[in-house]
Chain A
Amino acid sequence: GQQVMQIPQYQHVQEGEDFTTYCNSSTTLSNIQWYKQRPGGHPVFLIQLVKSGEVKKQKRLTFQFGEAKKNSSLHITATQTTDVGTYFCAGRNSGAGSYQLTFGKGTKLSVIP
């Protein structure tokens, strides 16, 4: 079945440093979503990428979808303590009628003040 690999598993950064997490799928995706989960909380939707090569920005966050629609990345510029949490990517297969989202295992971000 579809597999979504996410790296790194953990990342510790000093406040103000940049952070990037990468997501790779074993199959071509129709779209990819990114979620953030704060410690003790539930996943919260951040963004969805649909088009090949798409780049979207949300303030200090930049999301990219690869040209082959098999990989994606999330980059945070100048991290803040409010960025702490686990970031998940979730991909959906490109097959017709496909509903299931497959989540990566997440990247846990710690920010040292």
Chain B
Amino acid sequence: NAGVTQTPKFQVLKTGQSMTLQCAQDMNHEYMSWYRQDPGMGLRLIHYSVGAGITDQGEVPNGYNVSRSTTEDFPLRLLSAAPSQTSVYFCASSTRQGAKISTDTQYFGPGTRLTVL
């Protein structure tokens, strides 16, 4: 299994440009999430999905869109990039252990390092 894959690894955008960060997992995980990591800020949840066709907002959703048309893929779209979106973006997937949602663990992708000029 490749686990969680993310493309691209690095990206430089100009203010106002749009782009899509790709995330895919081959573990048949139900849950997928997008986080951003900024120095000294830890990991902050942008959007998440509990299954195909279902998405919800996290802590910092503004400026980002997501969709989940398949179990495997969970792309993150930046509609109009701003310098404040310069960050490292991590996609993660997780599955239930047993019947309880609360016992899942997260598998992170390698990250996309985005710079917005």
Contacts and interface: CB of A to CB of B under 8 A. Distances in A.
A100 B105 contact: no
Main secondary structure, interface of B, reads: strand
A85 interface: no
Interface of A: 1, 6, 9, 30-31, 33, 35, 41-45, 48, 50, 88, 90, 92, 97-106
B40 A9 contact: yes
Size class of the B contact interface (CB-based, 8 Å) = 20 to 34
A35 B48 CA distance: 19
Given A30-B102, A31-B102, A45-B105, A104 B42 contact: yes
Interface string B18-56: 000000000000010001000011111100101000000
Contact of B42 (A45, A48, A88): A88
Contacts of A100: 45, 48, 58-59
A43 B90 contact: yes
Nearest to B44: A103
